[in-house]
């Protein structure tokens, strides 16, 4: 595939890192120092927006939502041929992109997350009215190169944002809280970090590799009358499940507001 990047910040670079070895890539990036860095690190062709679009089959719009309007204005009116546009701009609906790009343009919308920078991303993918199953397959190939993907109807994209898009922040916050509590129990910063990070890493690996579900694994750790049961009793009393539900509803509601 010939892939063009319009904008190449942290997430754009994560995608580029995953695909540049197997696909011909061109990048349009407004910042001079960023262009120099990307060209040196990935040996990709840097070009102006029009040249990138003309030379590729797939255009990845990897700019911030507040900058998408400027990009679409620059693209509008150009002969787009049979190109596929993939947008990772949070909250921007496919219908808005289709209207701006012109009649018949194929659009796929993707919501990746920050672990893509470590090759362990989770991306939700949906298609616009003109995009085909083949277009979804092409998008999946690109984003599977930086983790995993799930194809959903667009009505669920705000929920994807709430669960996996924002999800890493919940995990990082949990790690912060666990380390702070460990420090209060007497561990120094290095010890607390090692204990918490490896516990999280090992638990996630077990979740991925074990045939058991999360609730079954939790019960395996929780002995009757033991220490884990005592800790979980506190979390249940504080209604942690309800707190997480409320938090995700709030994130989805905010995503819905931003998409209007």
Per-residue pLDDT tens over the stretch 42-53: 999 999 999 999
Confidence at 142, pLDDT banded by 50, 70, 90: very high
Residue 23 burial by Cβ neighbours in a 10 Å radius (0-12, 13-18, 19+): middle
Q: What is the pLDDT of residues 171-180, one digit of tens each?
A: 999 999 999 9
Label the pairing between strands 106-111 and 121-127.
Answer: antiparallel
Listing from the earlier edge strand, what are the strands of the sheet with 58-61?
45-46, 24-28, 2-6, 58-61, 84-87, 106-111, 121-127, 147-151
Q: Which of 12-21, 70-79, 173-182, 234-243 has the lowest mean pLDDT?
A: 70-79
CA distance 63 to 98: 17
Q: Stretch 94-106: mean pLDDT, rounded?
A: 90
DSSP single-letter state for residue 61: E
- Report whether pLDDT(186) > 90: yes
Q: Stretch 151-168: mean pLDDT, rounded?
A: 96
pTM (predicted TM-score): 0.90
Tokens of 31: 């910042």
**Percent of the chain clearing pLDDT 90 (strictly above):** 87
DSSP single-letter state for residue 87: E
Q: What is the pLDDT of residues 8-41, one digit of tens each?
A: 999 999 999 999 999 999 999 999 999 999 999 9
Domains parsed from the chain with CATH numbers: 2-152 (3.40.50.720), 167-258 (1.10.3730.10)
- At 259 the pLDDT is 75
Q: What is each CA distance from 235 to 123, 185, 198, 240, 243, in whole angstroms?
A: 30, 18, 22, 6, 10
Tokens of 233: 């009793």
Q: Stretch 226-251: mean pLDDT, rounded?
A: 96
- Per the CB < 8 A criterion, the answer to whether 45 and 146 are in contact is no
- At 256 the pLDDT is 87
Confidence at 66, pLDDT banded by 50, 70, 90: confident
Chain centroid to CA 258: 17
Confidence at 187, pLDDT banded by 50, 70, 90: very high
- Report whether pLDDT(77) > 80: no
- Report whether pLDDT(131) > 90: yes
Provide the Cα torsion 115, 19, 124, 87; round to 10°.
110
- Report whether pLDDT(260) > 90: no
Q: Which of 58-67, 169-178, 181-190 has the lowest mean pLDDT?
A: 58-67
- Per the CB < 8 A criterion, the answer to whether 96 and 109 are in contact is no
- Report whether pLDDT(74) > 90: no
- Report whether pLDDT(79) > 80: no
Confidence at 200, pLDDT banded by 50, 70, 90: very high
Confidence at 104, pLDDT banded by 50, 70, 90: confident
């Amino acid at each position: 595939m010939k892939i063009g990047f319009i904008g190449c910040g942290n997430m754009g670079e994560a995608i580029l890192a995953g695909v540049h070895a197997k696909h011909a890539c061109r990048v349009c990036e407004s910042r001079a120092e960023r262009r120099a860095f990307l060209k040196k690190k990935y040996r990709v062709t840097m070009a102006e927006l029009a040249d990138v679009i003309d030379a590729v089959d797939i255009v990845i719009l990897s700019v911030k939502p507040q900058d998408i309007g400027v990009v679409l204005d620059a693209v509008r009116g150009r002969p787009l041929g049979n190109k596929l546009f993939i947008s990772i701009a949070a909250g921007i609906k496919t219908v808005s992109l289709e209207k701006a790009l012109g009649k018949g343009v194929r659009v796929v919308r993707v919501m990746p997350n920050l672990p893509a920078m470590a090759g362990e991303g989770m991306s939700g993918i949906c298609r616009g009215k003109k995009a085909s199953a083949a277009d979804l397959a092409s998008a999946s190939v690109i984003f599977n190169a930086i983790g995993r993907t799930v194809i959903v109807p667009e009505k669920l994209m705000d929920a994807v944002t709430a669960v996996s898009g924002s999800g890493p922040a919940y995990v990082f916050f949990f790690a912060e809280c666990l380390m702070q509590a460990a420090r209060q129990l007497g561990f120094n910063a290095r010890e607390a970090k090692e204990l918490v990070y490896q516990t999280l890493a090992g638990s996630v690996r077990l979740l991925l590799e074990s045939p058991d579900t999360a609730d079954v694994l939790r019960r395996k750790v929780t002995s009757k009358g033991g220490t884990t049961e005592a800790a979980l009793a506190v979390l249940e009393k504080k209604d942690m499940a309800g707190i997480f539900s409320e938090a995700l509803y709030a994130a989805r509601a905010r995503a819905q507001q931003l998409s209007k």
